[in-house]
Amino acid sequence: MPFALSVVPESSGDLSLAFQPPGGESTRCELLFTRRSDKREHRVACSRDGDQLVARLALVPLLLEREARWDVRVCELCRRGASSETLLRGDRLVRNQDRHFLVWSTASHGLSCYLTESAQSLALYIAPSKRHAGVVEAENARERYAHHLAEAPLDDKLVFFESFLGKAYAGNPRYLYEALLRLRPDLRCVWSYDGNDVIPGNPQVVTRRSPDYYRLLAQARYRVNNVIFSVHGKKPETCYLQTWHGTPLKRIAFDIDNPQVDARDNFYKESRDWSLLLSENGYSTTIFRRAFRYDGEVLEAGYPLTDPLVQPCSDRADRLKTLGLPPQARVILYAPTWRDHKPVGDWQYGLDLHLDLAAVARRLPIDHFLLIKAHHLVAERIDRSSLPSNVRDVSHLGDITELCRVADCLVTDYSSVFFDFAVTGRPILFYCYDLALYEKALRGFYLDMQSDLPGPVVQDSEQLLDLLADLPAVSQRYANRYAHFRERFCALNDGRAAERVVERVFGAIK
């Protein structure tokens, strides 16, 4: 396999790449640059310089692009007319350097060379200057994570929190953190958070994938997450509490049959680091163990995020005011999940409400308001300027628990939020317009959608509106099933889940 010997930007604007000849029967060689996004190819002829082959890549045409990554291969043209392509390895070129070992910039763009993780082959990254600098800093910092794990001292008092990929101050990590402020003020907390909410207690806040993120994550005696960190691995002494983010209705991880929606390998690697997995109930414990192939310790203690939902909302009028709603408003919270088959980016998905908002606005009683909370993985946003006055988009709010506290009714589809909302005893409606598709082609379910859920399942908006028009009747009709559901899934959500977890994970309450 050919190895790169040097990569040098020249004053002429070319990038000079020298590498050892492949050693086969080739009559000549080319370097083949392949753009990952669309497999576009760019070929550069090679010339011999002593015992090396040299190719000079003109950079100016590439710098016209917005952002791209290019893989580098050596293409051998043989005497018999055949050709072969081999990745250009770079692991003899780089020793103890940043991942982006060569960085070159113009007034508008940056270019860098790095080695791929999978094959240690040479790749180029090109992007506008600001974007390029941010990505290079983040990837170089991630590369240094292994060094931090090996060399940086463990901080016994440090707790590292992250929720929903650093996008929210929310979920089980939030309510564990707030309990920790009361019960273990001797510990120092850090939050990985990229949002604008003010986090109480004045913790150190770091940006996900920043140099401080990787350094502090490596040093923390405790780490708490409800999804996944941006890098795997921890010190042996580190306690990693995985709280997860819901009791599963839809299939997860290794229980998913459709490889189109399969991120299970990444979660499998992450789960090897878990010291303790939090579960809301015995049903979840069984699924988690199988779906994550996890045989470590599981803590069945209920979910801390439900603690506020058990208590009466004494400041409801104030909370409604912050949402721009009158104090006596009746709130219907619509919180659908994301759709695996509609990706628009990395961990980002399209918005598909399938709800006639104009019809909803007409049919709602005068004091009722519909609040729409898109899933945190949904990248597209609602055009707020076109919404009726009694329909509000609250997708920008990070913590759905805050919305559940004031909601008089929850409308969802396959989101796990209804397991948590059920502790309130308020009506839950299931609007499943793509039920057959979701069940057979996307995820599939652990429960029977028609007989196990604590509320009615409908597949068109007119049926949904009919139910919303008479919620007391819905509550009465589903009272027995609702009570059985709460007994089965919510028994541990008694308002003290956070205290139990703090005492188990962080030691005696002081």
pLDDT of residue 79: 64
Cβ 339 vs Cβ 380: under 8 Å:
no
- More confident call, 281 vs 376: 281
pLDDT of residue 210: 93
Is the model's pLDDT at 262 over the cut of 80?
no
For 194-198, 259-263, 364-368, 397-401, which range has the lowest pLDDT when averaged over its residues? 259-263
For 44-48, 118-122, 308-312, 396-400, which range has the lowest pLDDT when averaged over its residues? 118-122
Is the model's pLDDT at 23 over the cut of 90?
no
Domain 150-306+499-504 matches domain 314-489 at the CATH topology level: yes
Q: How far apart are the C-alpha atoms of 289 and 89, rounded to whole Å?
A: 40
pLDDT of residue 326: 95
Average of per-residue pLDDT across 95-123:
86
Is the model's pLDDT at 93 over the cut of 90?
no
pLDDT of residue 26: 55
Cβ 281 vs Cβ 300: under 8 Å:
yes
The rounded percent of the chain whose pLDDT value lies above 70 is 94
Give, to the nearest 10 degrees, the angle between helix 171-183 and helix 497-506: 70
For 261-265, 286-290, 487-491, which range has the lowest pLDDT when averaged over its residues? 261-265
Average of per-residue pLDDT across 51-69:
86
Residue with tokens 């059985």: 484
From first CA to last CA, the distance across the chain in angstroms is 61
Query: What's the pLDDT tens digit per position in 209-248?
Result: 999 999 999 999 999 999 999 999 999 999 999 999 999 9
pLDDT of residue 377: 76
pLDDT confidence of 82, banded at 50, 70, 90?
low
The rounded percent of the chain whose pLDDT value lies above 90 is 69
pLDDT of residue 81: 62
Is the model's pLDDT at 202 over the cut of 80?
yes
Tokens linked to 21 = 């000849």
Is the model's pLDDT at 461 over the cut of 70?
yes
Q: How far apart are the C-alpha atoms of 252 and 284, rounded to whole Å?
A: 11
For 50-54, 247-251, 271-275, which range has the lowest pLDDT when averaged over its residues? 50-54
Is the model's pLDDT at 340 over the cut of 60?
yes
Task: Assign 490 to helix, strand or coil.
Answer: coil
Cβ 331 vs Cβ 367: under 8 Å:
no
Is the model's pLDDT at 429 over the cut of 90?
yes
Average of per-residue pLDDT across 431-456:
93
Which are the contacts of 39, defined by CB distance < 8 A and separation ≥ 6?
Answer: none
pLDDT of residue 299: 98
314-489 CATH pick, 3.10.20.30, 3.40.50.620, 3.40.50.12580, 3.40.50.1820: 3.40.50.12580
pLDDT confidence of 289, banded at 50, 70, 90?
very high
pLDDT mean across residues, the chain: 91
Query: What's the pLDDT tens digit per position in 134-166?
Result: 999 999 999 999 999 999 999 999 999 999 999
Average of per-residue pLDDT across 54-83:
83
- Superfamily of segment(s) 4-143: Immunoglobulins (2.60.40.10)
DSSP 176-225: HHHHHHHH-TTSEEEEE--S-PPPTT--EEE-TTSHHHHHHHHHEEEEEE
Domain boundaries, the chain: 4-143, 150-306+499-504, 314-489
Domain 150-306+499-504: top CATH class:
alpha beta
Average of per-residue pLDDT across 101-124:
88
Beta strands in 226-336 (DSSP E): 239-242, 276-279, 297-300, 330-334
Average of per-residue pLDDT across 288-308:
97
pLDDT of residue 385: 76
pLDDT of residue 346: 66
Backbone phi, psi, residue 449, to 5°: -65, -25
Is the model's pLDDT at 344 over the cut of 90?
no
pLDDT of residue 259: 55
